[in-house]
Amino acid sequence: MDNTLIDVKDLKVHFFTDEGVVRAVDGVDLKLERGRTLSLVGESGCGKSVACRALMQIVRNPGKVVAGEILYNRGAEGGQAEIIDIAKMDPKGKEIRDIRGKEISMIFQEPMTSLSPMYTVGNQIIENILLHTNLTKEQARDLAIKLLDQVGIPRADRLVDEYPFRLSGGMRQRSMIAMALSCNPNLLIADEPTTALDVTTQANILDLMSDLQKSYNMTLLFITHDLGVVAEIADEVAVMYLGKIVEKSDVYTIFNSPRHPYTQALLKSIPKIAIKREDLDPIKGMVPNPFRRPGGCPFHPRCPQAFAECKVLVPTTTQLTPNHSVQCLLYENFANRIATEQKQ
């Protein structure tokens, strides 16, 4: 794990409700490398945000991490790397609270609901700085102003005392970025940070995050369903469907040589300027009800390439190249699996 910041192994997050158990994250494997950007993509409800919340142990009730490992490499101490398992930590314990907001930070999807309307933007940034550093209130305030100026907020020395509802959507999002960067985190998780912004502001936010990543040399985990954003910002891409990573590779391979039918369908569904509305190629069907998940491959009811075994067998991960993996029976030698199951 020399260059690996976080290694997620077989992560499972389930929600225990009166109607049944929702397997929001059902066996996710991810590796986050230092200084690189991994983009997590997929339709709404596929488990992207829940998986990322699990990295900070902030999954809301009735959700719970039921299995798997989240191995976090905190760096070298005495010449040896200190690797801890976040999945085993108490969500309310001191150990995870020391990491949350300091070493791992998150920019949430809607800044208006993430920032308290009762406190100024500056107070909320200063609170995080005081919680994780030994700075005085005056030094924390100076740092907050510096951070707001760094993320492109004009007259930061004045707007530090403004309330969130007095700022525009883009300004609130920049304030959230400033708060997330206040303690120089090793990992920044961005949960669809540009969804509610206009195109110009979105481009500015993406450029800002790219510049800050280089300045702070941090790892970026970017959650989105906008493949245009993925092409601009990502080094690697993980495609998620119904709680599983169905394909993972570098951004060039995903766009030029996708292998999973779901990834291919996502790329085909992107609107193009040259085509008419009736020529759009959407993904057929709907995301299944979480309480009635299909057997076998979770994508088979919507897959144009599905065959009989897809309804029965759950695909395992097939390594196509050292940097490209896929979960699909099209690339798996499943004849031995069928013979073994028949003998049993």
pLDDT in tens, 238-285: 999 999 999 999 999 999 999 999 999 988 887 766 656 556 777 888
344 pLDDT more than 90: no
Question: Does residue 151 sit in helix, strand or coil?
Answer: coil
The maximal CA–CA distance of the chain, rounded, in angstroms, is 74
The answer to whether residue 330 is domain-embedded is no
Beta bridge mates, 12: 26, 67
Domain assignment of residue 220, given as a range:
4-241
The answer to whether residue 175 is domain-embedded is yes
For position 200, what pLDDT does the model report?
A: 77
For position 70, what pLDDT does the model report?
A: 95
The answer to whether residue 331 is domain-embedded is no
Question: Mean pLDDT across the chain, nearest whole number?
Answer: 86
For position 324, what pLDDT does the model report?
A: 94
**Mean pLDDT in residue range 142-164:** 90
The answer to whether residue 71 is domain-embedded is yes
pLDDT tens digits for 7-18?
A: 999 999 999 998
Percent of the chain's residues with pLDDT above 70: 91
For position 277, what pLDDT does the model report?
A: 58
The answer to whether residue 97 is domain-embedded is yes
The answer to whether residue 256 is domain-embedded is no
336 pLDDT more than 70: no
CATH code at position 52? 3.40.50.300
SS3 content of the chain, % helix, strand, coil (to 5): 35, 25, 35
Kindly list the distances between the CA atom of residue 121 and the CA atoms of 47, 115, 325, 335, 344, in Å, as whole numbers in the listed order: 30, 8, 43, 60, 62
pLDDT tens digits for 104-144?
A: 999 887 766 778 889 999 999 999 999 998 999 999 999 99
pLDDT tens digits for 282-334?
A: 788 888 888 888 889 999 999 999 988 899 889 999 999 999 999 999 988 76
For position 140, what pLDDT does the model report?
A: 93
For position 339, what pLDDT does the model report?
A: 54
Separation of alpha carbons 120 and 118, rounded Å? 7
Contact 126, 141 (CB under 8 A): yes
pTM of this structure: 0.88
How many domains are contained in the chain? 1
The answer to whether residue 268 is domain-embedded is no
Separation of alpha carbons 290 and 277, rounded Å? 31
How many residues does this entry show for the chain? Answer: 344
The answer to whether residue 26 is domain-embedded is yes
Q: Is 176 exposed, middle or buried (0-12, 13-18, 19+ CB in 10 A)?
A: buried
List the one residue out of 11, 68, 41, 8 whose CA is nearest residue 247.
41
**Helices then strands, each counted (H, E), the chain:** 12, 12
For position 334, what pLDDT does the model report?
A: 63
